[in-house]
Structure 1
Amino acid sequence: MATISESNPSTPDGTGQDDQLPAGEIFDLLSNQRRRYVIHYCKREDEPVPIGDLAEHVAAWELEKDVAEVTSAERKRVYTSLQQSHLPTLERADVIAFDDRTIELTDEAAELDVYLDIVPGDSVPWGTYYLGLAAVGSVVMAGLWLEVIPTETVPELGWATLVVGLFAASAVVHVVQNRRMRLGEMERPP
Protein backbone atom coordinates (compact mmCIF):
# COMPACT_ATOMS: atom_id res chain seq x y z
CA MET A 1 0.00 0.00 0.00
CA ALA A 2 1.53 3.33 -1.08
CA THR A 3 1.44 6.39 1.07
CA ILE A 4 2.23 9.90 0.04
CA SER A 5 5.31 11.81 1.10
CA GLU A 6 7.53 14.73 0.16
CA SER A 7 10.45 12.46 -0.66
CA ASN A 8 11.24 8.82 -1.17
CA PRO A 9 13.81 7.95 1.53
CA SER A 10 15.70 4.68 1.69
CA THR A 11 14.21 1.90 3.72
CA PRO A 12 15.99 0.20 6.60
CA ASP A 13 16.59 -2.91 4.51
CA GLY A 14 18.87 -0.92 2.20
CA THR A 15 16.80 -1.49 -0.95
CA GLY A 16 16.11 2.22 -1.40
CA GLN A 17 12.47 1.45 -2.10
CA ASP A 18 9.51 2.15 0.10
CA ASP A 19 5.80 2.44 -0.45
CA GLN A 20 5.57 6.23 -0.53
CA LEU A 21 4.84 8.37 -3.58
CA PRO A 22 7.18 11.32 -4.08
CA ALA A 23 5.64 14.77 -4.52
CA GLY A 24 6.54 14.84 -8.23
CA GLU A 25 4.44 11.74 -8.89
CA ILE A 26 1.58 13.22 -6.90
CA PHE A 27 1.63 16.41 -8.96
CA ASP A 28 1.72 14.30 -12.13
CA LEU A 29 -1.21 12.27 -10.83
CA LEU A 30 -3.22 15.41 -10.04
CA SER A 31 -2.22 17.26 -13.21
CA ASN A 32 -5.07 15.64 -15.13
CA GLN A 33 -8.48 17.27 -14.76
CA ARG A 34 -10.39 13.99 -15.17
CA ARG A 35 -8.50 12.42 -12.29
CA ARG A 36 -9.25 15.46 -10.11
CA TYR A 37 -12.92 15.15 -11.12
CA VAL A 38 -12.86 11.47 -10.07
CA ILE A 39 -11.45 12.41 -6.66
CA HIS A 40 -13.99 15.26 -6.31
CA TYR A 41 -16.97 13.04 -7.13
CA CYS A 42 -15.82 10.21 -4.87
CA LYS A 43 -15.18 12.63 -1.98
CA ARG A 44 -18.58 14.22 -2.47
CA GLU A 45 -20.42 10.89 -2.52
CA ASP A 46 -18.36 9.44 0.38
CA GLU A 47 -19.23 5.86 -0.56
CA PRO A 48 -18.42 3.47 -3.40
CA VAL A 49 -19.71 4.93 -6.67
CA PRO A 50 -20.74 3.13 -9.86
CA ILE A 51 -18.43 3.88 -12.78
CA GLY A 52 -21.43 4.80 -14.95
CA ASP A 53 -22.56 7.54 -12.54
CA LEU A 54 -18.99 8.78 -12.27
CA ALA A 55 -18.62 8.94 -16.07
CA GLU A 56 -21.89 10.89 -16.40
CA HIS A 57 -20.84 13.49 -13.84
CA VAL A 58 -17.31 13.87 -15.22
CA ALA A 59 -18.71 14.32 -18.75
CA ALA A 60 -21.23 16.88 -17.48
CA TRP A 61 -18.53 18.88 -15.70
CA GLU A 62 -16.19 18.77 -18.68
CA LEU A 63 -18.91 19.85 -21.10
CA GLU A 64 -20.47 22.28 -18.60
CA LYS A 65 -23.85 20.61 -18.91
CA ASP A 66 -26.39 19.14 -16.54
CA VAL A 67 -26.05 15.38 -16.09
CA ALA A 68 -29.43 14.86 -17.82
CA GLU A 69 -28.11 16.64 -20.96
CA VAL A 70 -25.09 14.35 -21.44
CA THR A 71 -25.48 12.14 -24.52
CA SER A 72 -24.66 8.46 -24.49
CA ALA A 73 -21.70 9.08 -26.85
CA GLU A 74 -20.28 11.74 -24.50
CA ARG A 75 -20.76 9.46 -21.52
CA LYS A 76 -19.19 6.48 -23.30
CA ARG A 77 -16.13 8.52 -24.36
CA VAL A 78 -15.48 9.52 -20.74
CA TYR A 79 -16.34 6.03 -19.43
CA THR A 80 -13.78 4.42 -21.76
CA SER A 81 -11.08 6.93 -20.87
CA LEU A 82 -11.71 6.48 -17.16
CA GLN A 83 -11.75 2.69 -17.32
CA GLN A 84 -8.69 2.31 -19.55
CA SER A 85 -6.45 5.09 -18.28
CA HIS A 86 -7.41 7.27 -15.34
CA LEU A 87 -8.87 4.77 -12.87
CA PRO A 88 -5.95 2.32 -13.25
CA THR A 89 -3.54 5.24 -12.73
CA LEU A 90 -5.33 6.29 -9.54
CA GLU A 91 -5.48 2.67 -8.38
CA ARG A 92 -1.73 2.13 -8.93
CA ALA A 93 -1.14 5.22 -6.77
CA ASP A 94 -3.42 3.64 -4.13
CA VAL A 95 -5.78 6.61 -4.18
CA ILE A 96 -8.83 4.55 -5.18
CA ALA A 97 -10.01 0.98 -5.00
CA PHE A 98 -11.49 0.08 -8.37
CA ASP A 99 -13.23 -3.00 -9.70
CA ASP A 100 -15.26 -3.39 -12.88
CA ARG A 101 -18.29 -1.65 -11.42
CA THR A 102 -17.43 0.62 -8.48
CA ILE A 103 -14.81 3.07 -7.34
CA GLU A 104 -14.09 4.24 -3.81
CA LEU A 105 -11.40 6.38 -2.25
CA THR A 106 -8.77 4.77 -0.06
CA ASP A 107 -7.49 6.20 3.20
CA GLU A 108 -4.41 7.48 1.32
CA ALA A 109 -6.63 9.80 -0.77
CA ALA A 110 -7.06 12.07 2.27
CA GLU A 111 -3.33 12.76 2.16
CA LEU A 112 -3.80 14.49 -1.21
CA ASP A 113 -5.65 17.43 0.37
CA VAL A 114 -2.43 19.32 1.03
CA TYR A 115 -1.67 19.18 -2.71
CA LEU A 116 -5.15 20.33 -3.69
CA ASP A 117 -5.09 23.84 -2.23
CA ILE A 118 -7.17 25.62 -4.86
CA VAL A 119 -6.77 29.37 -5.27
CA PRO A 120 -9.52 31.08 -7.27
CA GLY A 121 -8.16 32.94 -10.30
CA ASP A 122 -9.44 36.30 -9.10
CA SER A 123 -7.84 36.22 -5.65
CA VAL A 124 -4.43 37.09 -4.25
CA PRO A 125 -2.38 34.03 -3.22
CA TRP A 126 -2.42 33.70 0.56
CA GLY A 127 1.37 33.78 0.81
CA THR A 128 1.42 37.20 -0.89
CA TYR A 129 -1.45 38.41 1.28
CA TYR A 130 0.31 37.40 4.51
CA LEU A 131 3.55 38.99 3.31
CA GLY A 132 1.69 42.27 2.77
CA LEU A 133 0.00 41.96 6.15
CA ALA A 134 3.39 41.34 7.80
CA ALA A 135 4.75 44.45 6.05
CA VAL A 136 1.87 46.56 7.39
CA GLY A 137 2.39 45.09 10.87
CA SER A 138 6.12 45.84 10.66
CA VAL A 139 5.47 49.45 9.66
CA VAL A 140 3.07 49.88 12.59
CA MET A 141 5.52 48.30 15.05
CA ALA A 142 8.44 50.37 13.67
CA GLY A 143 6.32 53.48 13.97
CA LEU A 144 5.64 52.65 17.60
CA TRP A 145 9.33 51.99 18.34
CA LEU A 146 10.35 55.24 16.65
CA GLU A 147 7.48 57.07 18.37
CA VAL A 148 6.12 58.28 15.03
CA ILE A 149 2.69 56.79 15.63
CA PRO A 150 0.77 58.67 18.32
CA THR A 151 -0.07 56.60 21.39
CA GLU A 152 -2.26 59.15 23.15
CA THR A 153 -5.53 58.04 21.53
CA VAL A 154 -4.55 54.39 20.95
CA PRO A 155 -1.98 52.92 23.36
CA GLU A 156 0.87 50.70 22.16
CA LEU A 157 -0.92 47.59 23.37
CA GLY A 158 -3.95 48.64 21.30
CA TRP A 159 -1.83 48.87 18.14
CA ALA A 160 -0.26 45.48 18.85
CA THR A 161 -3.72 44.00 19.47
CA LEU A 162 -4.89 45.45 16.14
CA VAL A 163 -1.99 43.82 14.26
CA VAL A 164 -2.55 40.43 15.95
CA GLY A 165 -6.30 40.78 15.32
CA LEU A 166 -5.69 41.34 11.60
CA PHE A 167 -3.59 38.18 11.42
CA ALA A 168 -6.18 36.20 13.38
CA ALA A 169 -9.11 37.40 11.24
CA SER A 170 -7.12 36.69 8.07
CA ALA A 171 -6.30 33.18 9.26
CA VAL A 172 -9.98 32.46 9.97
CA VAL A 173 -10.99 33.67 6.49
CA HIS A 174 -8.14 31.61 4.98
CA VAL A 175 -9.24 28.40 6.73
CA VAL A 176 -12.91 28.90 5.79
CA GLN A 177 -12.06 29.59 2.15
CA ASN A 178 -9.75 26.56 1.94
CA ARG A 179 -12.41 24.25 3.37
CA ARG A 180 -15.00 25.61 0.97
CA MET A 181 -12.72 25.25 -2.08
CA ARG A 182 -11.64 21.62 -1.46
CA LEU A 183 -12.45 18.90 -3.90
CA GLY A 184 -15.59 17.13 -2.82
CA GLU A 185 -17.04 20.08 -0.89
CA MET A 186 -19.14 21.65 -3.67
CA GLU A 187 -21.61 20.36 -6.23
CA ARG A 188 -19.26 21.19 -9.14
CA PRO A 189 -15.51 20.81 -8.85
CA PRO A 190 -13.60 24.06 -8.38
Structure 2
Amino acid sequence: MSAEPEGERREQEQTDAETEAPATTASDVETPAIEDAPIGFDQLFEILKNERRRRVLGYLIESGEEVTLDELAEAIAARETGKDVRQITSQERKRVYVGLYQCHLPKMHDYGAISYNKPRGRIEPGEHTLLFERYLSVDEGPDDSAWTRYHSTLSLTATLLLVVPVLVGAVTSNAPLLIVAALLVGGLVGVSTLRFLR
Protein backbone atom coordinates (compact mmCIF):
# COMPACT_ATOMS: atom_id res chain seq x y z
CA MET A 1 0.00 0.00 0.00
CA SER A 2 1.20 3.51 -0.78
CA ALA A 3 1.50 5.97 2.07
CA GLU A 4 -0.81 8.99 2.08
CA PRO A 5 1.03 12.26 1.34
CA GLU A 6 1.76 14.39 4.43
CA GLY A 7 -0.15 17.48 3.18
CA GLU A 8 -3.36 15.52 2.48
CA ARG A 9 -3.20 13.85 5.89
CA ARG A 10 -2.89 17.21 7.71
CA GLU A 11 -5.74 18.64 5.67
CA GLN A 12 -7.94 15.66 6.62
CA GLU A 13 -7.07 16.01 10.32
CA GLN A 14 -7.93 19.74 10.24
CA THR A 15 -11.25 19.01 8.50
CA ASP A 16 -12.07 16.34 11.10
CA ALA A 17 -11.25 18.73 13.96
CA GLU A 18 -13.46 21.47 12.48
CA THR A 19 -16.32 19.01 12.03
CA GLU A 20 -16.12 17.82 15.63
CA ALA A 21 -15.90 21.33 17.16
CA PRO A 22 -19.37 22.74 17.85
CA ALA A 23 -20.11 26.01 16.08
CA THR A 24 -20.85 28.93 18.37
CA THR A 25 -23.49 31.40 17.26
CA ALA A 26 -24.72 34.65 18.81
CA SER A 27 -27.85 32.90 20.06
CA ASP A 28 -25.68 30.37 21.96
CA VAL A 29 -24.11 33.15 24.05
CA GLU A 30 -25.91 33.36 27.35
CA THR A 31 -26.93 36.73 28.73
CA PRO A 32 -25.01 37.28 31.96
CA ALA A 33 -26.94 37.46 35.21
CA ILE A 34 -26.90 40.69 37.18
CA GLU A 35 -25.75 38.71 40.22
CA ASP A 36 -22.57 37.71 38.38
CA ALA A 37 -21.77 41.18 37.02
CA PRO A 38 -19.43 43.62 38.78
CA ILE A 39 -22.20 46.25 38.70
CA GLY A 40 -25.37 46.23 40.75
CA PHE A 41 -29.01 47.07 40.13
CA ASP A 42 -28.43 50.70 41.15
CA GLN A 43 -25.85 51.21 38.42
CA LEU A 44 -27.88 49.22 35.90
CA PHE A 45 -31.01 51.28 36.41
CA GLU A 46 -29.01 54.51 36.66
CA ILE A 47 -28.16 53.96 33.00
CA LEU A 48 -31.57 52.68 31.95
CA LYS A 49 -33.62 55.42 33.62
CA ASN A 50 -32.66 57.89 30.88
CA GLU A 51 -34.48 57.52 27.56
CA ARG A 52 -31.57 58.80 25.47
CA ARG A 53 -29.23 56.22 27.01
CA ARG A 54 -31.79 53.50 26.29
CA ARG A 55 -31.90 54.68 22.67
CA VAL A 56 -28.10 54.52 22.46
CA LEU A 57 -28.14 50.95 23.75
CA GLY A 58 -30.94 49.98 21.38
CA TYR A 59 -29.11 51.47 18.40
CA LEU A 60 -25.83 49.72 19.26
CA ILE A 61 -27.58 46.40 19.82
CA GLU A 62 -29.39 46.73 16.48
CA SER A 63 -26.24 47.66 14.55
CA GLY A 64 -23.96 45.30 16.49
CA GLU A 65 -20.89 47.18 15.31
CA GLU A 66 -18.71 50.18 16.02
CA VAL A 67 -20.18 53.57 15.08
CA THR A 68 -18.88 57.12 15.13
CA LEU A 69 -20.21 59.74 17.50
CA ASP A 70 -21.54 61.70 14.51
CA GLU A 71 -23.49 58.68 13.20
CA LEU A 72 -24.85 57.93 16.65
CA ALA A 73 -25.90 61.55 17.28
CA GLU A 74 -27.73 61.68 13.93
CA ALA A 75 -29.50 58.36 14.55
CA ILE A 76 -30.59 59.32 18.08
CA ALA A 77 -31.73 62.80 16.97
CA ALA A 78 -33.78 61.20 14.20
CA ARG A 79 -35.44 58.81 16.68
CA GLU A 80 -36.17 61.57 19.16
CA THR A 81 -37.73 63.87 16.57
CA GLY A 82 -39.47 61.11 14.60
CA LYS A 83 -37.77 62.28 11.41
CA ASP A 84 -35.61 60.59 8.82
CA VAL A 85 -31.86 61.07 9.37
CA ARG A 86 -31.67 63.27 6.24
CA GLN A 87 -34.40 65.57 7.63
CA ILE A 88 -32.89 66.48 10.99
CA THR A 89 -31.46 69.96 11.35
CA SER A 90 -27.90 70.72 12.42
CA GLN A 91 -29.31 72.22 15.65
CA GLU A 92 -31.16 68.97 16.49
CA ARG A 93 -28.06 66.91 15.78
CA LYS A 94 -25.81 69.25 17.78
CA ARG A 95 -28.13 69.16 20.80
CA VAL A 96 -27.94 65.35 20.91
CA TYR A 97 -24.20 65.30 20.10
CA VAL A 98 -23.32 67.57 23.02
CA GLY A 99 -25.47 65.61 25.48
CA LEU A 100 -23.95 62.30 24.38
CA TYR A 101 -20.38 63.61 24.39
CA GLN A 102 -20.48 65.42 27.73
CA CYS A 103 -22.75 63.26 29.84
CA HIS A 104 -24.28 60.03 28.56
CA LEU A 105 -21.46 58.21 26.77
CA PRO A 106 -18.81 58.65 29.52
CA LYS A 107 -21.26 57.41 32.16
CA MET A 108 -22.32 54.45 30.01
CA HIS A 109 -18.65 53.60 29.38
CA ASP A 110 -17.88 53.71 33.12
CA TYR A 111 -20.57 51.09 33.78
CA GLY A 112 -19.57 48.88 30.84
CA ALA A 113 -22.83 49.44 28.97
CA ILE A 114 -20.81 50.60 25.95
CA SER A 115 -17.20 50.90 24.92
CA TYR A 116 -16.45 54.55 24.16
CA ASN A 117 -13.13 55.65 22.67
CA LYS A 118 -13.43 59.38 23.34
CA PRO A 119 -10.31 60.54 21.44
CA ARG A 120 -11.39 58.71 18.29
CA GLY A 121 -15.12 59.35 18.78
CA ARG A 122 -15.95 55.66 18.32
CA ILE A 123 -18.64 53.74 20.20
CA GLU A 124 -19.38 50.01 20.22
CA PRO A 125 -21.20 47.49 22.44
CA GLY A 126 -19.43 47.14 25.76
CA GLU A 127 -18.56 44.44 28.23
CA HIS A 128 -22.02 44.44 29.84
CA THR A 129 -24.23 45.43 26.88
CA LEU A 130 -26.07 42.09 26.97
CA LEU A 131 -26.84 42.63 30.65
CA PHE A 132 -28.47 45.98 29.84
CA GLU A 133 -30.25 44.57 26.79
CA ARG A 134 -32.41 42.24 28.87
CA TYR A 135 -33.98 45.25 30.63
CA LEU A 136 -34.63 47.34 27.53
CA SER A 137 -38.22 47.70 26.42
CA VAL A 138 -38.90 45.70 23.27
CA ASP A 139 -41.73 47.89 21.98
CA GLU A 140 -40.65 51.51 22.10
CA GLY A 141 -41.80 54.13 19.69
CA PRO A 142 -45.05 54.60 17.79
CA ASP A 143 -46.67 51.42 19.10
CA ASP A 144 -46.46 52.77 22.66
CA SER A 145 -48.36 55.91 21.74
CA ALA A 146 -51.03 53.85 19.95
CA TRP A 147 -51.45 51.72 23.09
CA THR A 148 -51.69 54.85 25.27
CA ARG A 149 -54.29 56.37 22.94
CA TYR A 150 -56.31 53.15 23.12
CA HIS A 151 -56.40 53.27 26.92
CA SER A 152 -57.13 56.98 26.91
CA THR A 153 -60.07 56.47 24.57
CA LEU A 154 -61.33 53.68 26.81
CA SER A 155 -61.03 55.96 29.86
CA LEU A 156 -62.87 58.79 28.11
CA THR A 157 -65.68 56.38 27.21
CA ALA A 158 -65.92 55.26 30.84
CA THR A 159 -65.99 58.93 31.86
CA LEU A 160 -68.92 59.59 29.57
CA LEU A 161 -70.75 56.67 31.15
CA LEU A 162 -70.21 58.23 34.57
CA VAL A 163 -71.75 61.52 33.43
CA VAL A 164 -75.16 59.82 33.54
CA PRO A 165 -75.09 59.36 37.34
CA VAL A 166 -74.01 63.01 37.69
CA LEU A 167 -77.01 64.14 35.68
CA VAL A 168 -79.33 61.80 37.59
CA GLY A 169 -77.93 63.09 40.88
CA ALA A 170 -78.44 66.67 39.77
CA VAL A 171 -82.04 66.01 38.74
CA THR A 172 -82.97 64.06 41.88
CA SER A 173 -80.85 66.28 44.16
CA ASN A 174 -79.05 63.28 45.64
CA ALA A 175 -75.97 65.13 46.98
CA PRO A 176 -73.73 62.16 47.97
CA LEU A 177 -74.23 60.45 44.58
CA LEU A 178 -73.55 63.74 42.83
CA ILE A 179 -70.31 64.39 44.74
CA VAL A 180 -68.89 60.86 44.28
CA ALA A 181 -69.73 60.76 40.58
CA ALA A 182 -68.30 64.25 40.04
CA LEU A 183 -65.02 63.26 41.71
CA LEU A 184 -64.77 60.11 39.59
CA VAL A 185 -65.52 62.00 36.40
CA GLY A 186 -63.02 64.75 37.24
CA GLY A 187 -60.28 62.25 38.05
CA LEU A 188 -60.83 60.19 34.92
CA VAL A 189 -60.98 63.26 32.69
CA GLY A 190 -57.74 64.62 34.16
CA VAL A 191 -55.79 61.36 33.88
CA SER A 192 -57.14 60.58 30.43
CA THR A 193 -56.34 64.04 29.12
CA LEU A 194 -52.79 63.92 30.44
CA ARG A 195 -52.15 60.44 28.98
CA PHE A 196 -53.74 61.35 25.65
CA LEU A 197 -51.63 64.48 25.22
CA ARG A 198 -48.32 62.78 26.06
TM range (shorter): 0.5 to 0.7
Structure 2 Cα separation of the partners of residues 25 and 97 of structure 1: 16
Larger relative contact order (Cα-Cα within 8 Å, sequence gap ≥ 6): 1
Match in the other structure for 1:28: 46
SS in 2 for 1:65: coil
| Aligned pairs (5 A) from 1:33-182 | 33-100=51-118, 101-118=121-138, 121=144, 122=147
**Count of residue pairs the alignment pairs up:** 110
Match in the other structure for 1:164: none
1:99 is displaced (CA, Å) by: 1.5
Output the TM-score relative to the length of structure 2. Answer: 0.50
Structure 2 Cα separation of the partners of residues 77 and 60 of structure 1: 12
Structure 1 Cα separation of the partners of residues 78 and 47 of structure 2: 22
SS in 1 for 2:123: strand
The answer to whether the 8 A contact 2:54-2:136 is kept is no
Deviations 1:78-130 (A, max 9, x none): 0010000000010010111112311001231111233225467549xxxxxxx
The answer to whether the 8 A contact 1:51-1:103 is kept is yes
The answer to whether the 8 A contact 2:115-2:127 is kept is no
CA RMSD of aligned residues (A): 2.3
Structure 2 Cα separation of the partners of residues 34 and 58 of structure 1: 7
Structure 1 Cα separation of the partners of residues 108 and 128 of structure 2: 11
The answer to whether the 8 A contact 1:29-1:35 is kept is yes
Structure 2 Cα separation of the partners of residues 99 and 113 of structure 1: 21
1:5 to 30, 34, 48: 34
Unaligned runs of 5+ in 1: 8-18, 124-190
